[in-house]
A = this chain, B = another copy of it.
Amino acid sequence: MFSLKRLYEKTVPTPPSDYVRLDYVTLKQFVADVFKALGVPSEDAEVAADVLVAADLMGVDSHGVQRLKRYTGGIRMGSVNPRAEVRVVKEGEATALIDGNAGLGQVVAFKAMRLAIEKARKVGVAAVGVRNSNHFGMAGYFVLQAIKENMIGGVLTNSEALVAYTHTLSRSFGTNPVAIGAPARYPPPIIFDAAVGVVPIGKVEIYAKEGKKLPLGWVIGPDGKLLEDPKEALEKKAAVLPLGGLGEEMGGHKGAALALIVDLLSGILTGASWGKGVRHTLSDTPANVGHFIIALDIESFMPLEQFLDRVEQLKSYVKSLPKISEDSEVWIPGEKAWLTMETRKHIGIPVHRNVLKELIDEGEKAGVKFNVKMLKETA
Contacts and interface: CB of A to CB of B under 8 A. Distances in A.
Given A92-B123, A94-B123, A167-B331, 8 more contacts: A92-B300, A93-B93, A125-B126, A127-B296, A169-B324, A198-B250, A218-B250, A268-B314
Interface string A92-103: 111101000000
Interface in A238-285: 243-245, 249-251, 253-255, 257-258, 260-261, 263-265, 268-271, 274-275
A261 B152 CA distance: 11
Contacts of A321: 165, 168-170, 172
A248 to B, nearest CB: 9
Contact of A297 (B95, B125, B194, B263): B95
Interface in A160-176: 165-170, 172
Interface in A165-189: 165-170, 172, 180, 182
A318 interface: yes
Contact of A243 (B122, B126, B244, B275): B244
Interface in A300-326: 300-302, 306-307, 310-311, 314, 317-318, 321-325
Nearest to A242: B251
A295 B314 CA distance: 27
A265 B302 CA distance: 12
Interface in A83-114: 90, 92-95, 97
A73 interface: no
Interface of A: 90, 92-95, 97, 122-127, 129, 152, 165-170, 172, 180, 182, 190, 192, 194, 197-199, 215, 217-218, 220, 224, 243-245, 249-251, 253-255, 257-258, 260-261, 263-265, 268-271, 274-275, 294, 296-298, 300-302, 306-307, 310-311, 314, 317-318, 321-325, 328-333
Stoichiometry, as copies per complex, reads: 2
A250 B215 contact: yes
B167 A330 contact: yes
Contact of A168 (B172, B249, B268, B330): B330
Contacts of A129: 301
Contact of A261 (B180, B198, B274): B180
A170 B310 CA distance: 21
Contact of A307 (B269, B294, B324, B332): B269
B190 A275 contact: no
A251 B257 contact: no
Contacts of A182: 264, 268-269
A250 B93 contact: no
Contacts of A95: 123-125, 296-297, 300-301
Contacts of A255: 243-244, 251
A271 B310 CA distance: 9
Contacts of A93: 93-94, 122-124
Nearest to A330: B167
Contacts of A271: 302, 306
A122 B90 CA distance: 15
Contacts of A168: 321-324, 330
A243 B251 contact: yes
Given A165-B321, A255-B243, A249 B215 contact: yes
A322 B94 contact: no
Contact of A323 (B94, B169, B332): B169
26 contacts: A92-B123, A93-B122, A93-B123, A95-B123, A95-B125, A125-B294, A152-B264, A152-B265, A168-B324, A170-B322, A182-B264, A182-B269, A190-B264, A192-B258, A194-B254, A194-B257, A197-B251, A198-B244, A218-B250, A251-B255, A257-B333, A260-B314, A260-B333, A269-B302, A270-B301, A270-B302
